[in-house]
């Protein structure tokens, strides 16, 4: 599964570099559209710090130079952001779906970074748990999510529920390591299809909207993270082998 890991690393590193460049641009030019969630604008000092950490870590992952250190640095950055930016918002209003979504995305990416750092068991679990939150949100806010599905796709409400179920099923599969490789591959494919059929058209329609750019790269990072989890999974086919009768 080295190919899965290589492709996942490429997607993940590309997204992190893009986030870093977004921070750098917004630190230098205050008239460009701000970053979208799960990030937030940061000018001057913190903008430069965020940009340097993200771009340097992405370069390390892409080239293999201090790759484990780069992955650990990313995991720390993502986890600290969840603690500082989203936990207080959840404490203030636990019914606000915004911090649930953004915080879950960052935790999942943190889990993917840990997988890259070879902290595989904890990384896979940290990647899986936020998927449950995202899945539940697809059920709670299905009608809103249906509006995000491209109009040319029939059964938009059905897809909102279907994706919610897919998130929960993938989370259970990854957490229990039951057909985990297959689940993670399908999850990565789903996120990549979103990049192609949902996010790229939205970016093309609104190229000056920072939210759309950020959402595109979040989906690409989640696709890469899913493939990294797939590449790290062990015993992924046991579920099927146990049911194949011996000759």
- Lowest mean pLDDT segment, chosen from 19-33, 108-122, 152-166: 19-33
Q: Which residues form the domain of 31?
A: 2-241
Secondary structure percentages of the chain, helix, strand, coil, to 5: 80, 0, 20
Which tokens is 139 given?
């059920």
In a domain, 236, yes or no: yes
- The arithmetic mean of pLDDT across residues 127-147, rounded, is 96
Q: Burial level of 92, CB count in 10 A (0-12/13-18/19+)?
A: exposed
pLDDT digit string, tens, across residues 201-225 = 999 999 888 889 999 999 999 999 9
- Three-state DSSP at 149 gives coil
Residue 128 clears pLDDT 60, i.e. is over it: yes
Of 88 and 29, the structure prediction assigns the larger pLDDT to 88
Q: How confident is the model at residue 237 (pLDDT cuts 50, 70, 90)?
A: very low
The pair phi, psi for residue 167, each rounded to 5°, is -60, -50
Positive or negative CA dihedral for 121, 230, 191, 10? Answer: positive
Q: What's the distance, Cα to Cα, between the start and end of the chain in Å?
A: 28
In a domain, 118, yes or no: yes
Give the CA-trace dihedral at 178, 124, 170, 217, to 10 degrees.
-150
Q: What is the DSSP letter of 154?
A: S
Among candidate residues 56, 134, 148, 112, the one with its CA nearest the CA of residue 232: 112
How many domains would you assign to the chain? Answer: 1
In a domain, 178, yes or no: yes
In a domain, 139, yes or no: yes
- The arithmetic mean of pLDDT across residues 71-83, rounded, is 95
Q: How confident is the model at residue 120 (pLDDT cuts 50, 70, 90)?
A: very high
Among candidate residues 176, 172, 198, the one with its CA nearest the CA of residue 187: 172
Among candidate residues 197, 191, 193, the one with its CA nearest the CA of residue 227: 191
- Lowest mean pLDDT segment, chosen from 23-32, 130-139, 140-149, 232-241: 232-241
Residue 236 clears pLDDT 70, i.e. is over it: no
pLDDT digit string, tens, across residues 4-58 = 889 999 999 999 999 999 888 877 776 666 678 898 776 778 888 888 999 999 9
Scored b (16 or more CB within 10 A) or e, 197-228 reads ebbeebbeeeeeebebbbbbbbbbbbbbbbbb
- Lowest mean pLDDT segment, chosen from 105-119, 149-163, 226-240: 226-240
Q: Which helix (H) or strand (E) holds 27?
A: helix 2-28
- The arithmetic mean of pLDDT across residues 49-69, rounded, is 92
In a domain, 246, yes or no: no
In a domain, 23, yes or no: yes
In a domain, 192, yes or no: yes
Verdict on whether the full-model pTM lies above 0.85: yes
**Cα 206 to Cα 246: distance, rounded to the nearest angstrom:** 57
- Residue-level pLDDT at 240: 39
- Residue-level pLDDT at 168: 98
In a domain, 247, yes or no: no
Residue 67 clears pLDDT 70, i.e. is over it: yes
- Residue-level pLDDT at 33: 65
**Cα 17 to Cα 220: distance, rounded to the nearest angstrom:** 12
**Cα 18 to Cα 212: distance, rounded to the nearest angstrom:** 13
């Amino acid at each position: 599964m080295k190919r899965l890991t290589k492709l996942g690393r490429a997607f993940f590193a590309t997204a992190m570099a893009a986030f870093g460049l977004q921070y750098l641009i917004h630190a230098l030019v205050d008239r460009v559209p701000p970053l979208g969630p799960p990030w937030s604008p940061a000018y001057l000092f913190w903008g430069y710090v965020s940009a340097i950490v993200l771009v340097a870590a992405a370069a390390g992952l892409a080239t293999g130079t201090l790759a484990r250190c780069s992955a650990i640095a990313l995991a720390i950055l993502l986890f600290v952001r969840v603690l500082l930016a989203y936990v207080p918002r959840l404490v203030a209003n636990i019914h606000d779906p915004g911090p649930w979504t953004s915080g879950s995305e960052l935790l999942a990416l943190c889990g993917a970074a840990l997988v890259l750092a070879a902290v595989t068991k904890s990384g896979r679990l940290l990647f899986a748990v936020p998927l449950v939150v995202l899945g539940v949100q697809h059920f709670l806010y299905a009608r809103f999510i249906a509006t995000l599905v491209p109009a040319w796709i029939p059964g938009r409400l059905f897809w909102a529920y279907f994706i919610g179920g897919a998130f929960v099923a993938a989370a259970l599969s990854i957490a229990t390591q039951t057909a985990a490789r297959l689940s993670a591959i399908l999850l990565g494919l789903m996120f990549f299809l979103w990049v192609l059929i949902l996010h790229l058209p939205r970016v093309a329609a609104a190229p000056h909207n920072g939210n759309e750019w950020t959402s595109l790269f979040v989906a690409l990072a989640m696709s890469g993270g899913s493939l990294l989890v797939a590449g790290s999974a062990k015993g992924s086919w046991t579920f099927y082998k146990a049911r194949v009768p011996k000759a």
